[in-house]
Amino acid sequence: MSTIADSGDGLTRSTGEDGVLVLHALERARHDPFRSFIAVAESAPRSSHPRAAFAGVPFAAKDNLEARGFPTTANTPALLGTSGTAESPVVAALRAVGAVLIGKTGMHELALGVTSSAAAFPATVNPRDSRRSAGGSSGGSGAAVAAGIVPFALGTDTGGSITIPAAWCGVYGFRPSTGRWSAQGTVPLSSTRDTVGVIAESVQWIAEVDRVVAPRYQGHRSGRPPKRSRMRIGIPDEDSEWVTHCDAEVARAWMEALLILAQVPDIELVPVVDPGLHRAERSCGTTIELYEISHELTRYLGRLPEPIPFGELRDRVARAEVRDLLDESLGHRNDRHGYAAALRLRSALQRMHAKFHTAYALDALLYPSVPMVASLLEAPRPRAEGAMGERAPSDAEVFVRATWNVNPGSVAGAPALTLPAPRYSEGRPVGLTLEGARFADRRLIEVAGRVARRLHEHADQLK
């Protein structure tokens, strides 16, 4: 029987009804040394739609996405033993076309961080370098794909939570335009900023998953063929905030990628000047999220089969920085005027973002995904030393730096697709992110597929 996964071009081959891929994925997940999973199916689930497009294809879902037959803990002790009341529509859509959910993946506690550090479950380890973080908050999903256990895994993104693990694990990540994929059936943080997305082993898998999850957008303007043969890719200038905060290793990978793309005939690199997107984001993004966290979580906790008060959640979290953020959100809970002002500023940011892409006639903006390589894992001693005296920074330090480049687009609600730079060394991948105009997701995925092919076809030019 033929399935979507038989089509080649970077897609894993499926054996359909015999379930070989699912059995193999389950075995790998149960013995995964990278701690990608917090729950794995007890027996090999069979596709409920054996003749559907994704029949026999295993996938995983982040532990803040509700799914029948699995717990939903968001990696916090306060939610151990709980499950939600409704399945995520994204999970349901994939199951409806035959994909088989084999387990729930690890994450940063309550998605309030970017390292997937230990909380209710141990920290997720980066498959590219076991001394380092897989990123977060969707770290388990990134690790499960990088380890070759599943071809794709669902995550969520409020401000870099798909981009960061995709970049640090050397795989592909897609954050759709906010509102394009349903965010129902999740442990929420911010209704304004949250979206479900996917981490995958190729752009082709991302394209196929998007067609399943967001079919009504296939007729959207973003799905029309381009009117020009050359892709216009915006490149920030060297003084831009997307570039100036980068470590030497990231900057080197960034420059090498530009050298490759500059020689590709069907790509036009367009120098762009940041109109102030970072500054505009800083005026509103954090205020919106902090106001919404306590409201969103309170509603979610109240809908559980056994409701939990917000204060009890706060008291039972494992990580001090997560508790601090919950406290900070309580401090913003009644600031309705500040919240309303922040929403107006976000609308201005969205207009600025749209005008920026239109003014340069961009197919996408390209920038280094994360200004730093994957951070060292925490250690039980105060300072975890790595090679040449490198230390493990605190989660708070990592959060500020790792989210820097993705913040403007994520707050604006723009789509972003992250792909690995063509070369990296010593197990430290570097990600490159293509960001599109809002709701131009299908065009962005098409462009990303072409850019990824060109990067890797021409990488040998740097030797």
Tell me which residues are annotated as active site: 62, 137, 161
CB 427 within 8 A of CB 400: no
Euclidean distance between CA atoms 66 and 298, whole angstroms = 17
CB 105 within 8 A of CB 61: yes
Note every long-range contact of 240-243, with CB atoms under 8 Å and residues 24 or more positions apart, other chains counting.
240/273, 240/274, 240/367, 241/274, 241/278, 241/404, 241/405, 242/274, 242/367, 242/368, 242/405, 243/367, 243/368
Euclidean distance between CA atoms 52 and 172, whole angstroms = 25
| Residue 8: strand, helix, or coil | coil
Torsion of the alpha carbons at 237, 240, 243 and 244, rounded to the nearest 10 = 120
| Residue 242: strand, helix, or coil | helix
> Which tokens sit at 31?
């013995």
Task: Tell me which residue of 53, 55, 67 sits closest to 21, measured CA to CA.
Answer: 55
Euclidean distance between CA atoms 350 and 344, whole angstroms = 10
CB 57 within 8 A of CB 96: no
| Residue 165: strand, helix, or coil | helix
Exposed/middle/buried for residue 15 (C-beta within 10 Å: 0-12, 13-18, 19+): middle
